[in-house]
Amino acid sequence: MTPNAAPELRGGALHAALAAGAPVPGVPVSDVDPFSVEFFEDPHRIHHELREAGPVVWLSSWNVWALARYAEVHAVLNDWGTFCSSRGVGMSDFAREKPWRPQSLILEQDPPKHTRARNVLGRVLSPAVMKTLRERFAAAAERKADELLALGTFDAITDLAEAFPLAVFPDAMGLPKEGREHLLPYAALAFNAFGPDNELRRKAMAEAGPHVAYVTDQCARERLAAGGFGAAIHAAVDAGEITAEEAPLLVRSLLTAGIDTTVNGLGAAIYCLARFPEEYAKLRANPALARNAFEEAVRFESPVQTFFRTTTRRVEIGGVEIGEGEKVLMFLGAANRDPRRWEEPERYDIELKTSGHVGFGSGIHMCVGQLLARLEGEVMLAALARKVGSVEIAGPTRRRYNNTLRGLESLPVTIRPA
Amino acid sequence: MPSVIYIHPNGSRQTLDVPAGQSVMQAAVSRGIEEILGECGGNAMCATCHVYVEPDQLDRLPPMGDDEDALLDGAAADRLPNSRLSCQIKVTGELDGLVVRLPDRQV
Ligand code: HEM
Ligand code: FES
């Protein structure tokens, strides 16, 4: 290999790169498609290849830059001036394409607009608010654990990872009872929509109509019960912090990002605890580890796998110069297992100091719902730890395919009382 | 290297040499001080890095921002006049010898 040649990652990669016109000579090129079924089935091997190829890799499958190392992902997340969100955090560049739905007022904005919305949602989901929810959520988790023990064998995705957030989150939002079955399909759609125009995205778009209609309706002030997050957002209109037109869009952000994410977080935690019985034994011995066991599952599985940024100017990353208006893909899941940052990244360790992982992002856009996600994860795992003696996988698992979210479609388990 | 003294809830004192530029939270988490969680990684979003700064040392610190002020209202242990978020305290040579007391819980 000449010193200047790009490392070849897979058969034909270099060739494909030349055909696609890799923009900078000497930059590692990969032709892997991170939005393909092959990738979803085993991302870790390819994450490893991408990390080792260099700090920046050109993905010739979609003509975007990609970052798989912790240091670069973390740096980009913390430089919103250079790597903006207002041109979309998916593959689509809003400067060139019309967004598929009205642009988010928080996720897809930069300061100062972002700051205003963020202040409102930050308060709606603050640590003080979490304190008021804890008891109710913990009681719901106890009930769920009892129900599951009565079943013995069940699907940990539908009956637990989906059922528990669905039992607490819509009520906490203040949503009416009817129509909640649209929440998960809507979220799956929104997270597929961050990906490229592939089969997954097109299929989701084709079926979007009723789900979009439902969510749009629930964002109105009169749909949302007093005391919930939705009402609290609308109250910010009265305080003059946001306009009456903005409030429904902020409600929409929570309806989009507030449920499928925690479903996949909780699913990841159960899948980890079932695969690593010695970690479950530690949790049983000390249920106070529940919160960290959940957090570590978010690091280990990274239920939100990827987000994009768009460059606002020419910039150098890891010695590579990138032009203005380029899409940069951040592999959160790869950063969360980068051996440059983590001592034993491939081990699920419920006592790991997880602080600094990027499963919830980092910087100004870091997940505004992280405290709610942790609360749900903690109380559910703590209830299991107290009541359930063992968790075993009881049948074949099946993966769920989504352009952004990582999780299972089916996880049959058998649990036994403590 | 500047040092920071952490006082555990049982009264025992632990002194860490902290590279300038690290936060009081980062230093604690990376050196295994269990009473600080730092769940948001220092982004001033979680309030799990709450500490009590020795009252006579409070004016050595930069003033707190609005985010920090709001978050401290939700801290798990009681908020006191000397409460701060340790991720917002960057260690510098000037802060050498800073003393912080650790609360008994962060969630
Ligand atoms: C385990 C569960 C969750 C994971 C893994 C997760 C992950 C993430 C990530 C990675 C980001 C950063 C996006 C970016 O940098 O562009 C984010 C932002 C966000 N999350 Fe979450 N999230 C979770 C739960 C939640 C919940 C429960 C809610 C709402 C109740 C929520 C609402 C949001 C919102 C509104 C944003 C945008 C924040 C901003 O742009 O300032 N998330 N989340
Ligand atoms: S580490 Fe989260 S607020 Fe300090």
Distance from CA of B71 to the nearest CA of A (A): 7
How far apart, in Å, are the Cα atoms of A195 and each of A34, A332, B36?
9, 15, 37
Cβ distance of A355 and B74 shorter than 8 Å? no
- In the three-class reduction of DSSP (H, G, I as helix; E, B as strand; rest coil), residue B5 is classed as strand
Q: Is the C-beta atom of B103 inside 6 A of ligand 2?
A: no
Domains and CATH numbers, chain B: 3-101 (3.10.20.30)
Do A345 and A81 contact (CB within 8 A), yes or no? no
| Dist. CA A47–CA A342, nearest whole Å | 15
Q: Which of B33, B39, B54, B44 is nearest to B90 (CA)?
A: B44
Domains and CATH numbers, chain A: 11-417 (1.10.630.10)
Terminal-to-terminal C-alpha distance of chain A: 60
- What does the pLDDT look like over B30-74, one tens digit per residue? 999 999 999 999 999 999 999 999 999 999 999 999 999 999 999
E strand or H helix that includes residue A173: helix A163-173
Which of B26, B36, B84, B87 has the most ligand 2 atoms within 8 A of CB, as the residue to mutate?
A: B87
Do B52 and B80 contact (CB within 8 A), yes or no? yes
Largest CA distance in chain A: 67
Distance from CA of A126 to the nearest CA of B (A): 7
- Interface A-B, measured as beta-carbon pairs within 8 A, has a size of 58
Cβ distance of B70 and A366 shorter than 8 Å? no
Ligand nearest the Cα atom of residue A303: 1
Nearest CA to ligand 2 atom 3: B44
| Dist. CA A149–CA A364, nearest whole Å | 41
Q: Is the C-beta atom of B2 inside 6 A of ligand 2?
A: no
Phi, psi of A234, deg, nearest 5 = -65, -30
Q: Which atom of ligand 1 is nearest to the CA of A253?
A: 35
CB atoms closer than 10 angstroms to residue A364: 17
What percent of chain B stands above pLDDT 70? 100
Q: Which atom of ligand 2 is nearest to the CA of B42?
A: 1
E strand or H helix that includes residue A188: helix A183-192
Distance from CA of B36 to the nearest CA of A (A): 10
- The per-residue b/e assignment along A323-338, b for 16 or more CB within 10 angstroms, e otherwise, is eeebbbbbbbbbbbbb
pLDDT exceeds 80 at position B2: yes
Q: What is the CA radius of gyration of chain B?
A: 12
For residue B77, the Cα-to-chain-centroid distance in whole angstroms is 13
Q: Which atom of ligand 2 is nearest to the CA of B44?
A: 3
**Exposure of A269 by Cβ count < 10 A (0-12 exposed, 13-18 middle, 19+ buried)?**
buried
- In the three-class reduction of DSSP (H, G, I as helix; E, B as strand; rest coil), residue B98 is classed as strand
Largest CA distance in chain B: 33
Phi, psi of A161, deg, nearest 5 = -60, -35
Ligand nearest the Cα atom of residue A105: 1
* Residue recorded with tokens 């909780």: A266
H-type helices in A220-358, by residue range? 229-238, 246-257, 260-275, 277-285, 290-301, 332-335
* Residue recorded with tokens 């979220």: A187
Instruction: Please identify every stretch of chain A with a pLDDT value under 50, giving residue numbers as ranges.
Output: 1-20
Least CA distance to B79: which residue of chain A?
A: A128
Residues 79-98 of B with CB under 8 A from A: none
Q: Is the C-beta atom of B85 inside 6 A of ligand 2?
A: yes
Establish how many alpha carbons lie within 13 A of residue B79's alpha carbon, considering only the half-sphere containing its beta carbon: 14
E strand or H helix that includes residue A380: helix A370-387
CB atoms closer than 10 angstroms to residue A98: 8
Residues 60-79 of B with CB under 8 A from A: 67, 70-71, 73-76
User: For B74, which of A130, A357, A374 is closest by C-beta distance?
Assistant: A130
| Contact residues on chain A for B45, CB-CB shorter than 8 A | 122, 366, 368, 370-371
> And the tokens for A67?
């970052």
Nearest CA to ligand 1 atom 35: A253
Nearest CA to ligand 1 atom 27: A258
pLDDT, position A26? 84
This prediction has a pTM of 0.95
